[in-house]
Chain A
């Protein structure tokens, strides 16, 4: 039954006993300890934990930006943790979309150009104007990041990640630098994208109310996973309050 259940589910990401140790002078820091979980296609996952709990490290390893000290990450049955540098780059290019806390847009490119930059390298056929509309920036496409608010910049970052139609959207504290209302609007965009483009979305945050909108919540503390909760009744972001 268990085997059948697993095969029926469409698992896109399988994390097994993942470990990451850092050497800081003479001290070894265990940033990640035996983390294991699975993510299904189209799921909206929230990884919740206080700062220093290892969630960013986990996200970086899943996204192919960092390598683990032990354990494995399987993406669609491909062992990401065995990838070469070039394979990791291709993995990031075609399979993963990143949204960062501080947006990290190219200051000298307009909003639309920031999105096109990524579409260009992946050869994505996505309609950039449509993506800009989807994130609510149809009329701000020609503005430079410095002419936009934080919320607008984060929308551009989401559009940039979505435009290449990635399998997984990884969002590192996407509302961390934003006020409540803007934060909620960003979460809405992420949820809309999740529904519209059927991407798997993984959001890491220290902000526990956000967990209410997730299909799955992975709680972390001190580098380890403390709890994995399947949320049968996720609520819409507009109902979240913090």
Chain B
């Protein structure tokens, strides 16, 4: 081994505390990058493999009535490869518990195997006979249904018994949600039951199909195919035509994967940035300390390049070790993380690959980053003149610091505090790095606290302040408003309003979006709308209110006229004026007066659902009313959310540890660096009679001032991070918005302070071990 390399190893050994500190930040950054990025890739690969093996549809059509012949007619037309028609409707699972209302979606399937959206059998057999059903896995697990069990469904008001022949997964219901409005899957109260096609048609009395799933030859041309279908199936009452990207389960999964992608870029960048700053600072201080050594190396004939390479190897070793360890741990963790995701999303296959190119990228990224920041730290080597380096460096010119101008403040300070401020201002780089690290820690803590609360606030606000709906009842298709009378007869209620919830394609110039428009009664009591400035909005007799995320998607503003296209047969297209833009944290919608909506686009006096606030047990009392497809209660939604909070708690814990670690490691290692450099100064103080405790107090005061400034700067940073998060992570499904509260800020500060104090205590241990007297003796050599 070359002697300089030997020196390098011993240099690393001598600075192991700082070396491990910076290494741990690099490892964490690369670990998050690899773990999250690999999970995203694993998830995408698994999903693609799953979709491919089950021949997942490219287009999903919902219509009023599709005749059987269409299957033959459409195949081969306009980029269409295969067509499968089916019957699908929501119905009720009859259970022994009269108090629960379980909605299941009955979906017709082929007797043997579907062409498209094949089922992935987990238990039992695929072949279906009459009076047999295949149950979707999540629902079977939640409701403890096994192969061989009997289930009862209420189909068209009649009870039908089915023997469970298999438990299966479906590519269409990986993320199993009843509709966009539900937001979170609740496998206990909503499931999918697959029934043999001819038998389902027979018992439901349906002569027609109401859904078609299609595959295409070339996905690039999907828009043309969609247009073709919209035009040609218009006469069959097309309700909506969605491509694979818009399909609910798939789009939710894609949102999740895209979210992971974003995380894999942003959080590691913060860690790498700080590791880079630390590495540059560390190396610049090592080079400063080694000034004479470098001069000697130059004097004995080492070239600048050789000396620079020697020091860069220190940085490179951090990069390589950090990159390799980070990516190995990250890859291992990504397997577990992918499994957790697959469990949550219910994807029966698992494709965990080791992405060697990703590991190489991670190691290279870490290496290039460390070498770059290392070079930044050691570039002063080039300026060292061997002859001058043999002489002691002339002391820095002492000058008054900025604070001394404020005489009133300065004169009141004790001597030790003056010393503290002078030291802080004279080591500006250290001051900036520590303050920045503490502010990032505070900022990230605030963001974490806010995220924890915002999920809660989002749900609580949405389901109790924005919407005040205790029961949301959906009908099978449209009904005359008079159906409300029948409901009124069966229950006592506080409020009841008919409503329409129906998908429309909305266009504004080149922008378009398909969303559910909700038709509400005049002066509805079920919604409270506010704009972003807190002004109350009402649904006017004419015009439309749109959610802020819809306004963004359409690039629409108040007063704009947007084009609404109904999916009904011969449905009208009309321009409607935007009368307001409202704040809505969950979902993406437009709101109109129910009478105006039905008059302009549907038939006068119809509704497809009802909102009820009642103390009655609605689910039981409305059990016998026909045409009700589902009853969703506020309580159901809350219990689903409570399950979801478990996941949030894990995320929070991880975020707190990571952000705290950043502050801890940087404060600890920078203080260590400072102690090592100031050993002579502290030794002189010891000679003058100061105790180790008193010296520690000086360091602690310095760190406290820098940390306090960091914390203060962290508050606006946290707010900025929250805004950034709001923009980056808001989707059609949810909009992250909400003000940060003082409680969140205080909690974040307390957590930050805990990490800072821990780092301080660690440095005290170091000070206690330092032999200051030895430092004085060694002054010459």
Answer yes or no: do A and B interact. Answer: yes
Decide if A60 touches B387 in the complex (CB within 8 Å): yes
Which residues in A have their C-beta under 8 angstroms from that of B299?
63, 65, 92, 98
CB neighbors of B among A90-132 (8 A): 90, 92-94, 96-98, 100, 102-109, 113-114, 116-118, 120-122
- CB-CB under 8 A from A116, the residues of chain B are 3
A142 in the interface (beta carbon within 8 A): no
Name the B residues within 8 Å of A114 (CB-CB). 3
Interface code A129-159, partner B: CB below 8 Å = 1, 0 otherwise? 0000000000000000110000001000000
Closest A-chain residue to B391, C-beta based?
Answer: A56
How far apart are the CA atoms of A93 and B295 in the complex, in Å? 13
Indicate whether A66 sits within 8 Å of B385 (C-beta atoms), given known contacts A106-B293, A120-B2.
yes
* Complex contacts, A229 vs chain B, CB 8 Å: none
* B-chain residues with CB within 8 Å of residue A240 when the two chains form the complex: none
Q: Which residues of A contact B295 (CB under 8 A)?
A: 104
Instruction: Return the chain A residue nearest B10 by Cβ.
Output: A108
- Give B370 Cβ to nearest chain A Cβ, in Å: 22
Interface size on B, residues (CB 8 A): 26
Q: Does A55 lie at the interface of the complex (its beta carbon under 8 Å from any beta carbon of B)?
A: no
Q: Determine chain B's interface SS by DSSP, over half rule.
A: helix
Q: A104-B296, A109-B6, A109-B7 are in contact. Are A86 and B387 (CB under 8 A)?
A: no
Whether B385 and A107, one on each chain, are in contact in the complex, defined by CB atoms closer than 8 angstroms, is no
Is A121 touching B387 in the complex (CB atoms < 8 A)? Answer: no
B1 → chain A closest CB, angstroms: 10
Residue pair A121, B781 in contact (C-beta under 8 Å): no
- Which stretch in B65-73, B101-109, B300-308 binds the other chain? B300-308
Known contacts A65-B386, A108-B7, A116-B3; A145/B300 CB under 8 A: no
Distance A94 CA – B14 CA, assembled complex (angstroms): 32
Residues of A within 8 A of B11 (CB): 108
Cα–Cα, bound, A114→B296 (Å): 11
B298 CB–A CB distance under 8 Å = yes
Contact in complex: A92, B3 (CB < 8 Å): no
B13: nearest residue on chain A (CB-CB)?
A: A108
With both chains docked as a complex, state the minimum distance between the C-beta of A79 and any C-beta of chain B, in angstroms: 19
Within 8 A of A (CB), among B292-330: 292-293, 295-296, 298-303, 306
B6 to chain A, nearest CB (A): 6
CB-CB under 8 A from B390, the residues of chain A are: 100, 102, 104, 172
Q: Complex formed: what's the CA distance from A13 to B385 in Å? A: 23
Cα-based distance from A108 to B135 in the complex (angstroms): 71
Task: Say whether A160 faces chain B, with CB atoms less than 8 Å apart.
Answer: yes
Is A89 in contact with B387, judged by CB distance below 8 angstroms?
no
Chain B, range 252-305, C-beta contacts under 8 Å to A: 292-293, 295-296, 298-303
Chain A CB within 8 A of B4 CB: yes
Known: A65-B387, A104-B293, A160-B300. A146 touches B7 (CB 8 A): no
Q: Does A177 count as interface, using CB distance less than 8 angstroms?
A: yes
Assess whether B301 is in contact with A89, with CB atoms less than 8 Å apart.
yes
B780 at the interface (CB under 8 A from A): yes
Contacts of A108 in B (CB 8 A): 6-7, 10-11, 14
Judge whether B7 and A120 touch: CB under 8 Å: no
When the two chains form their complex, are residues A117 and B387 in contact, meaning their CB atoms are under 8 A apart? no
User: If A108-B10, A117-B4 touch, does A92 touch B387 (CB 8 Å cutoff)?
Assistant: no
Other 20 A-B pairs with CB < 8 A, given A89-B302, A107-B781, A117-B4: A65-B298, A65-B299, A65-B386, A86-B303, A89-B303, A93-B300, A98-B296, A98-B299, A103-B781, A104-B295, A105-B781, A108-B7, A108-B10, A113-B3, A117-B7, A121-B300, A121-B302, A122-B301, A161-B300, A177-B780
Q: Offer 8 A-B interface pairs, CB within 8 angstroms, sorted by A.
A: A65-B298, A98-B296, A102-B781, A104-B295, A121-B302, A161-B300, A164-B300, A164-B301
Residues of chain B having any CB pair with chain A under 8 Å: 2-4, 6-7, 10-11, 14, 292-293, 295-296, 298-303, 306, 385-387, 390, 778, 780-781
Which are the 10 A-B pairs with shortest beta-carbon distances? A93-B301, A108-B10, A117-B3, A60-B387, A65-B387, A92-B301, A66-B387, A65-B386, A104-B296, A113-B3
